[in-house]
A and B are shown apart, each in its own frame.
Chain A
Amino acid sequence: MNWVVDNFGLILQLTVIHLQQSVIPIVLGFVLSLPLGWVAWRYRLVRGPVIVLTGLLYTIPSLALLILLPATLGYSAISAPNLIIALTIYAVAILVRAVADGLDSVDEDVRQAATATGFAPFRRFWAVEFPLAGPVILAGLRVTAVSTISLATVGILIGVTNLGYLFTNGLERRIIAEVFAGVIAVVIIALVFDLVLMLIGRALMPWTRANAAAAQGAAARVATTRAAA
């Protein structure tokens, strides 16, 4: 415990750096995944390949990716951008599928109704399809956020400093408290980030809770109607 108290400044500083290195790939991955996921959803033919390809990205070991990417693209491995690019790729791997699944989850009747009431395609996407895909996309985003924040610690192995530093440094100097401090800091950031995303989701999608409550009632009503029929 003494170590944590003595080095609180360091932990805080690393946490801020860690957050920066995580938030950028999460946001970047989200922005890139929207058009990719839309294409995968809209064009049945490319859907399989896009989902499989992005899914495969996730299976590449992180350390290998961190070494191979700069080697093939010709930039320095020992840099925050290298870590950020790798993490963005992982984020895309999860989110493309989430976006495609989310758009799939939109009721076809609602889509038809939107067209019939006079939404042009672009406006229909932003006003109807994207928000209604929201809950599924948000679920993907939460997984992405937690995974990115924890994955970012491998950065230390290529010399990019963040909370991962507490792992390697603690291990070398045999300070178990330091390693634990690192683990707990990562978990706390991940949990807080997840909570923030959840709250943002609630604020932006107030209808989801109304629908969830009504769905239970509706299921009961359908059951009784069926029984009556």
Chain B
Amino acid sequence: MIEFRNVTKRFPDGTLAVNDFSLVLPSRKTTVFVGSSGCGKTTLLRMINRMVEPTSGDVEIDGESVLGGDPVKLRRSIGYVMQNSGLMPHFSVIDNVSTVLRLNGVGRTAAHARARELLDTVGLDRALADRYPSQLSGGQQQRVGVARGLAANPNILLMDEPFGAVDPIVRVDLQQETSRLQRELDKTVVFVTHDIDEAFLLGDQVVILDKGARIVQVGSPSEIIESPADDFVAAFIGADRGRRALSLKQTPRGLVVVDSEGRTQGAIVGSDAAAPASADGAAP
């Protein structure tokens, strides 16, 4: 469990990135911070592994303040995946994945063996092990980034817009993979994105943030779609348009769901097909 207690971060230039933020992130669940750029979501993430230190307040992992110990040791115990992969361009794929293990003093052979297993885990061909990151596609680089984050088998995985820079088709692929990995590996994942669809797809707990990391709404994707806290949330999740503004249409063969463009998205199935159902059940 990760807990933010009244955390405030003011940067030296005076920017108030995070203002009195408190939240509990449950263990073995995925919490997604979502908001537009500059809302402080990345700052929140980086306070968990002390890349950023709070001006006031505290961040605790399982009841222990992250500010107490050695930050380097802390970071080695937390997986971190960032946008543009953040891979070491001068390390081969296998060395990149082994990085944290090697830092923790694991021998080269053992670290490489473990790294090879991780390539399998994230769906990468072992033949890529000796390539340099620049010789991989954007999607492959992100997979290596995820493998590196998982290498030391951390309980917590921080993901900072990991799929922001890859093309949409690859992104969907990576999102599905992440969702699968989460089910298999059972980590506490903290995910930052500005993409609300990504947030709803991956998050058990979605936190919608406004400037200064003000919490606008916290809840499961269903809770947020069913009852947006205010107009800001409704507009942000696009409740009134596109794929999330669904309505029912009677056809000779039964009820179907259509979106705001009039495109049919699916059919209502089951015994209560005649009764108007809540719209979110058909949301992708």
**Is B72 a contact of A131 with CB atoms below 8 Å?**
no
Binds A, one of B10-18, B83-91, B180-188, B224-232: B83-91
Question: Hey, which chain A residues are within 8 Å of B49, CB to CB?
Answer: 116
**Is B80 a contact of A210 with CB atoms below 8 Å?**
no
Per-residue CB contact flags for chain A residues 182-226 toward chain B (1 = under 8 Å, else 0) read: 000000000000000000000001010011011100100000010
- Given A109-B82, A211-B134, are A117 and B167 neighbors across the interface (CB < 8 Å)? no
Q: How far is the CB of B96 from chain A (nearest CB, A)?
A: 9
Q: How far is the CB of B75 from chain A (nearest CB, A)?
A: 4
Question: Hey, which chain A residues are within 8 Å of B84, CB to CB?
Answer: 109
Q: Is B76 an interface residue (CB 8 A)?
A: yes
- Given A109-B82, A210-B135, A215-B134, are A118 and B72 neighbors across the interface (CB < 8 Å)? yes
Q: How far is the CB of B16 from chain A (nearest CB, A)?
A: 22
Q: Name which residue of chain B comes closest to A229, CB basis.
A: B167
A225 to B84, CA, bound (A): 16
Q: Name which residue of chain A comes closest to B152, CB basis.
A: A118
**Is B99 a contact of A117 with CB atoms below 8 Å?**
yes
Question: Hey, which chain A residues are within 8 Å of B83, CB to CB?
Answer: 109
**Is B86 a contact of A109 with CB atoms below 8 Å?**
yes
- Given A112-B51, A118-B72, are A210 and B134 neighbors across the interface (CB < 8 Å)? yes
* Count of chain A residues near B, Cβ 8 A: 25
Question: Hey, which chain A residues are within 8 Å of B88, CB to CB?
Answer: 110, 113-114, 128
A177 to B89, CA, bound (A): 50
Q: Is A20 an interface residue (CB 8 A)?
A: no
Which one of B51, B82, B134 contacts A218 once the chains associate, using CB atoms below 8 Å? B134
**Is B90 a contact of A116 with CB atoms below 8 Å?**
no
**Is A211 a contact of B73 with CB atoms below 8 Å?**
no
Q: How far is the CB of A144 from chain B (nearest CB, A)?
A: 23
Q: Is B116 an interface residue (CB 8 A)?
A: no
Q: How far is the CB of A80 from chain B (nearest CB, A)?
A: 38
Q: Which of A110, A118, A225 is most buried by chain B, counting CB atoms within 10 A of its CB?
A: A118
Q: Is A227 an interface residue (CB 8 A)?
A: no
Q: Is B103 an interface residue (CB 8 A)?
A: yes
**Is A117 a contact of B148 with CB atoms below 8 Å?**
yes
Q: How far is the CB of B272 from chain A (nearest CB, A)?
A: 44
Q: How far is the CB of A113 from chain B (nearest CB, A)?
A: 3
Q: Is B100 an interface residue (CB 8 A)?
A: yes
Q: Which 6 A-B pairs have the closest CB atoms?
A: A113-B86, A118-B76, A214-B134, A116-B80, A118-B75, A210-B132
The contact sample of 8 A-B pairs, CB cut-off 8 A, is A109-B86, A113-B88, A114-B88, A115-B75, A128-B90, A132-B89, A207-B90, A218-B134
Interface, chain B (partner A; CB < 8 A):
49, 51, 72-73, 75-76, 80, 82-84, 86-91, 99-100, 103-104, 131-132, 134-135, 148, 167
Knowing that A115-B51, A207-B132, A215-B134 are A-B contacts, what are 19 other residue pairs whose CB atoms are under 8 Å apart, sorted by A's residue number?
A110-B86, A112-B51, A112-B82, A113-B82, A113-B86, A116-B80, A116-B86, A117-B75, A117-B148, A118-B72, A118-B103, A118-B104, A123-B103, A207-B134, A211-B89, A213-B134, A213-B135, A214-B134, A218-B134
